[in-house]
Structure 1
């Protein structure tokens, strides 16, 4: 495609919306007054994500467009960013959660390989944790909830990386699986471009999935820490969906596909999570 001008963000739009995400975004579980601010953040994040993930735009164009997003958070720039900045001003929320997210997308334009688990977590610190922190701020929750939030959000990000490891390599030439793990198994990045994963690659995916399950164990009490019960209900559902996706990653080949929930399976998992959460509330 023709290289995008700095203000042509719409030209890189993927058309994806919040109903197509892996996990609930501003679902009916949230208070009505919280949904609009959460959706403002989602529109901002979706626009920035579409820029960073566009396979045709150059890295230079992406970085210029992301700078245009950043300008909108503190002045005149991208409409999605200006909208979010307006919400943050009205709610007394810092725009740092949006700035940090842009840091992650800019990193995607500059870095396409990772060396270890700590590097992945450092990336998640910018790409995932600020999302949950913003939602918590919208609901007036305390920072005591941040450690559990950070563990859950990092888990969601890494699940996404593992689900899409083949696509990320083929389409974006990005490899989030730490390279030393591949090399130690006698593999290189090209293993991610195959029609299916061999045993050695599956073992690596399973190792990373098990480490992700550790993050989910760290965040197991997150919903119980949240004062807003409607937000806590959504968090309980997200945690259950993440746990099940880890189970799927341990039993299915992400290069073949199918490591995603059907609407029916997601619905049953959500109902089960809500039932367990509210039963726990009644017992308390």
Structure 2
């Protein structure tokens, strides 16, 4: 294998579980978000390739980093993102953090506990939201709430795909201590249907993920950019519903992912909730001046 194209899965931004560069985001910013996404997609495809060995994967991830740094022998995806970031005077820090997560995906296949999983999410998920905030000129004071939301999205994906990740990649993000508490080994993820004990583990992890969403609940209200705030509200609504599903459904044998129509209804509800709150605050701010004119 000689380049990212050899590792490509064929997935695009419309195949993801949560919106990427949706129409809610300002049009002039979407190309930069898509450049970041394509870089991340390329790295993800490398890390998840079913037949390439670890050495090949790490070498290709190094080429992606070389592109970011403007070095020779670099990948096109890295070079394109470098150009997009420079055009907006943005740091490459978040993309480099992502590469750390993908390198872990190549070399680390088990997570001992929740804290170890959260450390992984610090590199695999939080940088995506931080990049989008930077692109919109938002305050770094929002990073803790961003990180909580992004970690929740990451764990939701892990729980939805826990059987597939184990069967196809021998990769397990379900913390080993959670399995061990209920007398389970990772092999339980290979069953066609989750045992009652595994259902209890997954539901418990879903509740912990719900606590992350509780931490991030004020996030949309504190985002200055109106359109980005709506996007955050949409994502939060989708995530909350998926957490509830994971508390009740078996991801080994039942569908957890949203159908398009389901996602559309939830997105509308989430966006409207944010819009109504912002309108209410705007009316409240204008009210004193109206009283003063009477």
User: Normalising to structure 1: TM-score of the pair?
Assistant: 0.97
Query: Larger relative contact order (C-alpha < 8 A, sep ≥ 6)?
Result: 1
Residues in 2 aligned to 1:181 and 1:223: alpha-carbon distance in whole angstroms? 32
* Bigger mean CA offset, 76-85 vs 239-248: 76-85
Quick check: 1:252 aligned with 2:253?
Answer: no
CA deviation string 1:19-55 (max 9, x = no partner): 1100000000000111011001000000000000111
SS of residue paired to 1:155: helix
Please state how far the C-alpha of 1:9 moved relative to its aligned partner: 1.2
Residues in 1 aligned to 2:181 and 2:26: alpha-carbon distance in whole angstroms? 49
| Matching residue of 1:34 | 29
Quick check: 1:173 aligned with 2:170?
Answer: yes
| Matching residue of 1:18 | 13
Residues in 2 aligned to 1:126 and 1:74: alpha-carbon distance in whole angstroms? 19
Unaligned runs of 5+ in 1: none
Q: For the pair shown, which has the larger CA radius of gyration, 1 or 2?
A: 2
Runs of 4+ more than 6 Å apart:
none
Residues in 2 aligned to 1:271 and 1:184: alpha-carbon distance in whole angstroms? 40
Quick check: 1:279 aligned with 2:283?
Answer: no
User: Normalising to structure 2: TM-score of the pair?
Assistant: 0.94
Quick check: 1:159 aligned with 2:159?
Answer: no
2:102 to 96, 105, 112: 105
| Matching residue of 1:63 | 58
Residues in 2 aligned to 1:174 and 1:138: alpha-carbon distance in whole angstroms? 33
| Matching residue of 2:227 | 230
Quick check: 1:45 aligned with 2:46?
Answer: no
| Matching residue of 1:197 | 194
Residues in 2 aligned to 1:265 and 1:50: alpha-carbon distance in whole angstroms? 28
Residues in 1 aligned to 2:272 and 2:108: alpha-carbon distance in whole angstroms? 42
Contact 2:204 2:247 in 1 (8 A): no
User: Between Structure 1 and Structure 2, how many residues are aligned?
Assistant: 279
Please state how far the C-alpha of 1:238 moved relative to its aligned partner: 0.2
| Matching residue of 2:69 | 74
